[in-house]
Amino acid sequence: RLFYDRMNQAIARSRRRKTNAALLFVDLDRFKHINDTLGHEIGDLLLKEVANRLAGSLRDIDTVCRLAGDEFVVLLTDIAEVGDAAVAAQRIIDSLSAPYMLKGHELSVTISMGISVFPSDGQEGGFLLEKADIAMYRAKTLGRSGFEFYKDDMSLDAHQRLGLEHELERALERGEFRIFYQPIVSMESGKVFGVEALVRWEHPERGLLSPADFIKVADQSGLLVPIGLKVLEESCAQAVKWQEWRGPDLPLAVSVNLSATQLKHPDLASEVTRILRNTGLEASNLVLEVSEGTIVEDVQSASAILERLKSLGVRLGMDDFGTGYSRLLDLNRLPVDFLKIDHSLVGGLEGDREKMAMAAATVALAHALGLRAIAEGVETSQQLGHLRGLGCDLAQGHYLGEALLPDVAERTISFIDRYFP
């Protein structure tokens, strides 16, 4: 309440003196993770220390307030120009980024900050706070430890997001998600090794939407968890049908993608267990794909979760490899079975010596670590030929087959089984 009062005073004063005021919305990145792993006592101490540092990096006339949880707001009054807010923001980031010593734990945190300015972004405190929050959100999605000034198009984004979230909720209730299956082919046997389950949204007005149009918002709003469970459930059930159809000599693996949020969800392992039991799919026929970027974000906790999943008997793949800057030493410790070479390394492989060398190195790396390499996004017979020449184990891409609904996918699978070159 004091903060709102100060904010209104500052606005009134700025209006009178024709100066600016700025609102800085500060949010700690991954505070929940710190709380979860080191405990609430350390979490509390961290918040206190953050508050001290915030107060210490401001002038006497500025106000700092803890709004909720790990959210702080800073009010800069009587600033001459907007650039001064940027200087203050950077000073705060520098101060908060220095290591923390808390009960023998050395911690470092990064923060995301959004800034709104009076009078250009709004005339009223509540609006300014909302806009600083929107800008903070943008800062977070752009990467860690930085600040963003509010811009009008962000608001539109926020508005559209909200609409999309509501639509996604409704789509989940109405069952508008469809799973398409793309074959993954063994280079050695020429048989289909498995399929990757790829979700699509059959939107009542906009038609079939690809994951690029909705996965990110679904993920950020938490909706990808229930959507993902449906994908897992349905594709495991489908895989069981295909096992029966192809017979015991030709098992068919089904690969399902997991986002960072899905991976971190505390119920994941128990849900996977439940789904395997209910559908009767053998655990080894399920491959869970996690992208390299998700893993490097927090190798330690990812590795613990992957170990837990691995103990259920499922297999694991590192997706989009080559885009996430893995430490090779970490890679060696992760319990993954497959390395999926990102399509950006596969596309245009023919006639590009550097890409060829990188693909060759990736296949060699996979093999050195005892993993199988899967090339994704194979679009031409030349690419397929080169990859085979490099010893790449498995391939997936439009050249072999697109992602298709079960009936059509089944025809493609039997076609490849019979005629793969």
The contact set with ligand C2E (CB under 6 A) reads 182, 198-199, 210-212, 215, 224, 228, 231, 257-259, 262, 289, 319-320, 343, 376-379, 397-398, 403
Looking at the Cβ atoms of 21 and 215, the one nearer to ligand C2E is 215
* Site size with Mg ion, rule: CB under 5 A: 5
CA distances to 203, 259, 331 from 170, rounded to whole Å, are: 10, 21, 40
Applying CB under 5 A, among 14, 77, 243, 257 the residue interacting with Mg ion is 257
Choose from Mg ion, ligand C2E, none: what does 397 bind? Cβ within 5-8 Å by kind: ligand C2E
Task: Return the residue of 219, 289, 292, 393 that touches Mg ion, per CB under 5 A.
Answer: 289
Which partner, ligand C2E, Mg ion, none, binds residue 32 by CB below 5 to 8 Å per kind? none
Please state at what angle helix 31-38 crosses helix 40-56, rounded to 10 degrees. Answer: 140
Q: Which of ligand C2E, Mg ion, none does residue 13 bind (CB under 5 to 8 Å by kind)?
A: none
134 makes contact, choosing from Mg ion, ligand C2E, none, with CB < 5 to 8 Å by partner type, with none
Give the residue carrying structure tokens 């090339």. 375
Binding mask 369-388 for Mg ion (x = CB under 5 A): -------x------------
Q: Which among 60, 35, 64, 62 is positioned nearest to 50, based on CA atoms?
A: 64
234 binds Mg ion (CB under 5 A): no
Give the shortest CB-285-to-ligand C2E separation in angstroms: 17
Q: Of the ranges 89-97, 111-119, 225-233, 289-297, which one interacts with Mg ion (CB under 5 A)?
A: 289-297
Residue 234, binding choice from Mg ion, ligand C2E, none, Cβ under 5 to 8 Å by partner class: none
**330/318 Cα distance (integer angstroms):** 12
If the CB atoms of residues 203 and 343 are measured against ligand C2E, the closer one turns out to be 343
Residue 219 Cβ vs ligand C2E, minimum distance, rounded to whole Å:
7
- The Cα–Cα gap between 74 and 67 comes to 10
In this chain, which of 133, 219, 319, 410 binds Mg ion, going by CB under 5 A? Answer: 319
Please identify which residue in the block is written with the tokens 């690419």.
383
Q: Which one, 113 or 378, has the nearer CB to Mg ion? A: 378
Q: Which residue is it, tokens 């990102």?
A: 342
Which residue, 17 or 398, has its beta carbon nearer to ligand C2E? 398
Assess 35 for contact with Mg ion (CB under 5 A): no
- Alpha-carbon distance of 179 to 237, in angstroms, equals 12
Taking the complex as a whole, the smallest distance from the CB of residue 256 to ligand C2E amounts, in Å, to: 6
Q: Which does 211 bind (CB under 5 to 8 A by kind): Mg ion, ligand C2E, none?
A: ligand C2E
Check residue 362 for interaction with Mg ion (CB under 5 A). Answer: no
292 binds Mg ion (CB under 5 A): no
379's contact among Mg ion, ligand C2E, none, with CB below 5 to 8 A by partner kind, is ligand C2E
- Could you say which of Mg ion, ligand C2E, none residue 398 binds, taking C-beta under 5 to 8 angstroms by partner kind? ligand C2E
In the complex with ligand C2E, the residue whose CB is nearer, 337 or 379, is: 379
Q: Which residue, 119 or 211, is less far from ligand C2E as judged by CB? A: 211
- What does each C-alpha distance from 339 to 215, 293, 334 come to in angstroms? 22, 13, 11
Q: Comparing C-alpha atoms, which of 103, 109, 10, 6 is closest to residue 51?
A: 109
Partner that binds at residue 228, options ligand C2E, Mg ion, none, CB closer than 5 to 8 Å by kind? ligand C2E
Residue with tokens 């600083």: 132
Q: Choose between 47 and 318: whose C-beta lies nearer to ligand C2E.
A: 318
Closest contact distance (angstroms) between CB of 237 and ligand C2E is 15
Q: List residues near Mg ion by CB under 5 A.
A: 257, 289, 319-320, 376
